[in-house]
Amino acid sequence: MESFELIQYLQNKRRELSHALSESKKRGIALADAERQYKKEKAKFIAKARIEKVAVTLIGDLAKGHPEISELRHKRDVAKVLYWNAQEAINVYKLECRLVEAQIKREWEDA
């Protein structure tokens, strides 16, 4: 690649990095919201089970198997995977930028 092509490529990667940062923020907020909703509903279930004198050793398993709580847990886990994916995308874009910057530097030093 020519220097100007590398610079354009680097600019594109920086735009992608900026987009990935924005996406990571959105996904982080979605993860926090999903975590909050899951914990809130789980706490309600546990409190209700305690009032109903359900054995403490069973409450955790019953909560995990409850359809609504199970769905919220699934949504939380999906949000977590999407957030981690966005974080990894950021790392990939940063690495690509560093590699291109190093290539540009080598070309300028050789010129």
Give one DSSP letter per residue of 1-63, joined into a string. --HHHHHHHHHHHHHHHHHHHHHHHHHHHHHHHHHHHHHHHHHHHHHHHHHTT--HHHHHHHH
Instruction: Report the domain count for the chain.
Output: 1
Instruction: Provide the domain limits for residue 50.
Output: 3-110
pLDDT of residue 4: 82
> Exposed, middle or buried by CB within 10 Å (0-12, 13-18, 19+), for 76?
buried
pLDDT of residue 3: 80
Q: What is the mean pLDDT of each run of 10 residues along the chain (111 residues)?
A: 86 95 97 98 96 93 94 97 97 95 87 66
